[in-house]
Structure 1
Amino acid sequence: MKNIHFHKYQGAGNDFIIIDNRKGTFDGNDTTLIEHLCNRRFGIGGDGLMLLEDHPVHDFTMRYFNSDGGEASMCGNGGRCIAAFAVHKGVVSNPDKFSFMAVDGEHLAEYKSGIVNLKMIDVNSVNKENKFTYLNTGSPHHVCFVDDVAKTDVYNEGKNIRYSERYQPDGTNVNFVQFKTGNEIKVRTYERGVEDETLACGTGVVASAISAHLKKPSFSEFDIEVLGGKLKVCFEPNSEGGFKNVWLEGPATFVFEGTIEI
């Protein structure tokens, strides 16, 4: 038996287990353990688990694991939460601007009064089809627009798209987007790895905002309502049809910490 000390954070309802692994004591290859810790009935519970580890150049390294135990692509709300955790733990020297390395590359972050503004990767291209868009914002996302997200069967429709032949073998995340007024949109997301709808998805709202821009080109900043709260995304279109200076902003909140015996 061993004791694992952890912290729990949430960003717009997207909740994560965070472990300070700078001493390398937690085995990130133990998928069974990670899945158990993320289980909401038998473990701590979370949409995912993150390890904060040392980096030779940046303030730290973020490693992200889905709740199924597998190491995953980038998680935007996870990135904001681990940034807040790093500030709270004194890992960064300047909360106003710091950097960390994730699976998709370098990220800049800014922390102020519980709000984290996270710079996401550039989006080089968007596959625009008649009924949907597909793009990678650190994780792959299928985005479709609906008249009323409240009436959308996110679980079943999202699951069908996630496992469709088009996206095999790795699958995709699926976002359903509704326009409100002006630059306001509502988003609901089915997340692969979690294999269910989550209260928010950071890379998903970025993909949704960029897709909304393609329909409303006058807007390059969007206020986004998700089930777990509100987020903001801004970006700059580039001359090649991609997007740069992509930022995701929203709250990142400490929930509790504890020790679990495994």
Structure 2
Amino acid sequence: MRISFVKMHGLGNDFVVLDARERDLPPIGAAQARALADRRTGIGCDQLILLQPSDVADFRMRIFNADGSEVEACGNASRAVALLHREPARIETGGGVLSALPTQGGAAIDMGAPRFNWQAIPLAYAMDTLSMPVAWEGLESPVAVNVGNPHVVFFVPDSDSVRLDQIGPTIETDPLFPQRINVNVATVEDRNTIRLRVWERGSGLTRACGTGACATAVAAMRRGLTDRAVTVHLPGGPLRIEWGTDDAITMTGPAAESFRGTFEWGDYA
């Protein structure tokens, strides 16, 4: 059985998109996601995206990380599929229903309201999520926030100097985080500008993370470090993040289609 796919990316965070909205596909699980994501023997991607019909939105988006784990939300993928859909849409995800508005070369996504309660992150036990009394090798007092998926944000003098490839896996899998965690290290440049690097749960170092940008912006705003609209500069490029008075986060940025192709399902089953 030959399956069509679209390869896309948002600021270098790349996806293989499979569309099952009008054509049934075989069941997809962790093994298939890992095989397709492999950059040597598969198509290669940070996340495998599966589009399906939805009873509560225009369509459903399922997200599999490169390690095969299924996650609740992905901001960059939301922009990519909005670009693919070409029309305003409501997208059902494991983290809630998002609203997407295609723009020239990208999309604006209503990511909904952030959550800060320790049980909503979730954490293993109660603590202040605005300044967590924990530290890992010099990274200390992070902010925890759930924006459809869980994040911790560390504010540091120079995000580029942090050995995130070394400390990221340790924090991601710490028992404090029952569902693992996305790790963000950020430097506030001024009231409107943040530099950010992200260790993404299940994928590792990434050129861009949309939910990470949202989480980091909201964390900076909660601490009074920035205004309510900022530009977050990631290694792959900038995203515009606004936290409205209605509590909803709007993320605006580019997305692009790289190429299309087909593969034989049996090669990855």
Q: TM-score if structure 2 supplies the norm length? A: 0.86
Deviations 1:198-247 (A, max 9, x none): 01111111010011112336600110100111101101356xxxxx1211
Code of the residue aligned with 2:252 in structure 1: it is E
Which residue, out of 213, 220, 223, partners 1:212?
Answer: 220
Q: Is 2:256 the counterpart of 1:253?
A: yes
Q: Distance in 2 between matches of 1:253 and 1:101?
A: 21
> Which 10-residue stretch deviates more, 216-225 or 104-113?
216-225
* Structure 2: 5+ residue stretches without partners: 118-128, 133-140
Deviation of 1:183 after TM superposition, in Å, equals 0.9
Confirm or deny: 8 A CA contact 1:209 1:222 kept in the other structure: yes
Q: How far, CA to CA, are the matches of 1:84 and 1:49 in structure 2?
A: 16
Runs of 4+ in 1 over 4 A off after TM superposition: none
Superposed displacement of residue 116, structure 1? 0.4
CA distance in 2, matches of 1:28, 1:234: 37
Residues 65-123 of structure 1 deviation map (CA, whole Å, 9 limit, x = unaligned)? 11112221111111111111112xxxxxxx2x321211122111111211200011211
Contact 2:207 2:235 in 1 (8 A): yes
**SS of match in other structure, 1:155:** helix
Change in Cα spacing, 1:67 to 1:75, as seen in structure 2 (3 Å) is same
Provide the aligned C-alpha RMSD in A.
1.6
Identity of aligned residues (%): 32
2:98 maps to amino acid: H
What SS is found at the alignment partner of 2:190? coil
Change (3 A) 1:170 1:125: closer
What CA deviation, in whole Å up to 9, does each residue of 1:118-138 have, x standing for no partner? 011211326111511001001
- Does the 8 Å CA contact 1:7/1:257 hold for their aligned counterparts? yes
**1:60/1:99 contact within 8 Å kept:** yes
TM-aligned CA deviation for residue 57 of structure 1: 4.7
Matched, 1:232 2:235: no
Distance 1:128 1:68 in 2: 30
1:158 deviation in Å?
1.4
Q: Single out whichever of 178-187 and 57-66 deviates more from structure 2.
A: 57-66
SS of 2:154's partner is: strand
Q: CA deviation at 1:182?
A: 2.7
CA distance in 1, matches of 2:251, 2:164: 23
| Structure 1 counterpart of 2:121 | none
Looking at structure 1, the residues matched to 131 and 253 of structure 2 have their Cα atoms a distance apart, in angstroms, of 30
| Alpha-carbon distance between aligned partners in 2 of 1:179 and 1:219, rounded to the nearest angstrom | 11
Give the equivalent residue in structure 1 for 2:2: 3
Name the residue aligned to 2:136.
none
Aligned residues: 246
Matched-pair contact (CA < 8 Å) for 2:198–2:208: yes
